[in-house]
Structure formats: structure tokens, C-alpha cells
Amino acid sequence: MLRREFLAVRNRLTEDVVREAGGTLAERALELPELARAHTVAAYVSVGREPGTLVLLDALRARGMHVLLPALLPDNDLDWGEYAGPDSLARVQHGGKMALFEPSGERLGPDAVTGADVVLLPGLAVDARGMRLGRGGGSYDRVLARLESAGARPALVVLLYDAEVVARVPAEAHDRPVHAVVTPSGVRRFAGT
């Protein structure tokens, strides 16, 4: 029910608000020291009314960073491919789910994310503990578990609208906190991560 509420608010946003937020988010994210030092960033292409990521992806690439993007597998796990600009994306319809923009080039395997210095995560909300509320498909729960089992320790950053930083979201034992949230108004870091 909470997911539906956040999605309903997002669905009321205008294209102008989404576009403006994407540009501002890119500016804020690029100020992160973690991104300034990164060689490889695992990110995603926003869809629908998610905070826009294309401006940020192009800026990361322009800085010479290796940008990995996910490709959804039939079991909801994620494979990865390199972002080589907007022409390297393909619109992929996954059954009854929403269409996603995925890298059209070579697949690098689900473990490619373990080489990332920063992982940009989609979400619907994050709370004061850094706990992220995702869409409920479990894809990024698998990514976070894969990072943990590989001993990888990238910076985990979620990109959201200001109103999506809330006091508390439900969390389960397998959920992992993020290190920071970037919103149009700024960056918030979380203690203990």
C-alpha cells in the first residue's frame, strides 16, 4: 500500500517537474566525493516519473567513468552492460511489467556490479536510517546481497524527490541501508553506513 501511495504522488508530477528534477539531481550527485573518485558506476535509466537519470549518466560518461546499466533477467535478477550514450539503449518490454531502457551491447554478467565504486539505486523512498523502499521486485535486493557476498563495498546512493525522504519505511532482515540519498534540494548521508 505504501508503494502505491508513493507511485500515485509521482504519477501526478508533470513532465517539466520531472525534467527539472533530473537536471538538479545530476548537479547534486556530481558533487559527491564518491562519484568524483569513481572509475566505475553502476546506475540505471529512469522510467516513467522516476527522477531523471539521463543527464547524470551522460555527465558521468563525459568524465571518463565506466557506467554500467542493468538488464532485467527473467528471474528478476540483473545482468549489466556498458552505457555508451543514448544510442546504446534499447527499449525492452518485460511481459506485463513496464518497459525499461537497457544497454543494447554486450552483457557482462550479474557479477559485473561487484566492480563498481558507486551503485546508484532506484527507489520510492528512504528513511532516516537509510533504509530504501524499492518497487518490490527484489532485483536490487539481489544486487545488494551479491555485493555483500563478494566483499564489495561500493558507495550506495539512492536518487529521490525531496518528499520521498521520510521518517520510516518498512524493513526486513535482508534489507541493507544506503550511504546517502540525493534529492533536488541536496545530499543527506546516513550514520552507521
- Flag whether 138 is marked binding: yes
C-alpha cell of residue 134 = 524499492
- Flag whether 186 is marked binding: no
Q: Any bridge partners for residue 82, and if so which?
A: 68
- Do 157 and 171 contact (CB within 8 A), yes or no? no
- Flag whether 45 is marked binding: yes
- Flag whether 135 is marked binding: yes
CB neighbours of residue 110 within 10 Å? 17
- Flag whether 161 is marked binding: no
Alpha helix locations (H) across the chain? 2-11, 15-30, 33-37, 54-62, 139-149
- Flag whether 133 is marked binding: yes
- Flag whether 19 is marked binding: no
- Flag whether 64 is marked binding: no
- Flag whether 9 is marked binding: no
- Do 108 and 102 contact (CB within 8 A), yes or no? no
Known binding-site residues for ATP equal 132-140
Known binding-site residues equal 45, 50, 132-140
Known binding-site residues for substrate equal 45, 50
